Amino acid sequence: MTTVLAPTPSAAPARKASRSRRGKIAVQALRIALVIFFAFPIVFMFVSSFKPDLQIFKDLGSWRGFVPVGHISLDNYLGVFDRVPAARFLLNSIGISAITVVLGIFVNSLAAFSLARLKWRGRQFVLTAIIATLIVPFETLALPLVWWVNKLPWLEIHGFSLVLTTGWLDTYRVQIIPFIANAFSIYLFYQYFNSIPKELDEAARVDGASWFMIYRKVVLPLSGPAIATVAILTFLPAWNSYLWPLMVVQTEDLRPVMVGIQYFYQLNVAWGEIMAYASLITIPVLALFVAFQRSFISSIASSGVKG
């Protein structure tokens, strides 16, 4: 007679823990594989920025294209600054993007605060109109916008007096002011502000706080993830702007980094220098995302999925 031994009580939890551990390992392996796959273009760009053109084409199609082997030097980076005023382009883009982000956060958050926290007639219609503008591509507005900015007045300082001039073309302001207000940023702030309890407003109003004080001292300090998300989503279009500066800016000293790429396609194309220039203009974007990634992910998880 054969005796069948029942499994010990600890066997089932052990098998369950083992399957859970194998599942976690598989998920991590998949994540690493996806990171490697999507990082290939960036790695290739950075590695190629240190190689001469002949070696770049020689290493194509093999693992050597993703590894800094062969003739490695900083000649391409030195060539970038000799070929174009790269430092000036970088400073222009940093200044334009930073000012657009700061003013955009203030203007868009203030508009969203009015829509989300104040009660006034027609606010739902205004919100609907703002959201509706998201379906209009910028290319359809570019030419009318050029006509308008060429007609707008501006006060300039000449000596000790203010002079009223007409036209914003070929200036820094034409690259900043039209892009401060943004429908998506307003909507994102609106969604996030709605998630903050309105009882905080009522308590602050009882203590004698004005609405602007509530906005500045109650709502904004609780909106760090939304602010970080708007900062990233405002910085990226400002930094990557190409069509608009090409249309409205003629002076070389006012141009941003993206317009500078066309310099490398004139006369002899230097692919190593193109890779070096692309690496230089990619570093600020990566640094910004690394600095705000936690807040960005938190905002998308907490407010971006709300109905």
Q: Which pLDDT value is given to residue 238?
A: 93
pLDDT tier for residue 129 given thresholds of 50, 70 and 90: very high
pLDDT tier for residue 119 given thresholds of 50, 70 and 90: confident
What length does the chain have? 307
Q: Which pLDDT value is given to residue 305?
A: 43
pLDDT tier for residue 95 given thresholds of 50, 70 and 90: very high
Question: Is residue 144 predicted with pLDDT exceeding 80?
Answer: yes
Range(s) for CATH 1.10.3720.10 in the chain?
80-302
Query: Could you tell me the sign of the dihedral formed by the alpha carbons of 91, 96, 97, 99, in that order?
Result: positive
Interval 4-25: pLDDT, tens: 555 555 566 666 666 777 778 8
What mean pLDDT is predicted for residues 92-109? 95
Question: Is residue 244 predicted with pLDDT exceeding 90?
Answer: yes
80-302 carries CATH number 1.10.3720.10: yes
Whole-prediction pTM: 0.82
Question: Is residue 25 within a helix (H) or strand (E), and if so which, with residue range?
Answer: helix 11-48
Q: Residue type at 24?
A: K
Share of the chain above pLDDT 90, in %: 28
Q: Which pLDDT value is given to residue 198?
A: 86
Helix count and strand count (H, E) for the chain: 14, 2
User: By C-alpha distance, which of 83, 232, 67, 93 is closest to 176?
Assistant: 93
Question: Is residue 66 predicted with pLDDT exceeding 90?
Answer: no
* Tokens linked to 23: 């599942």
Instruction: Give the C-alpha separation, 281 to 90, whole Å.
Output: 8
Instruction: Give the C-alpha separation, 94 to 256, whole Å.
Output: 9
The residue to which tokens 């430092």 are assigned: 87
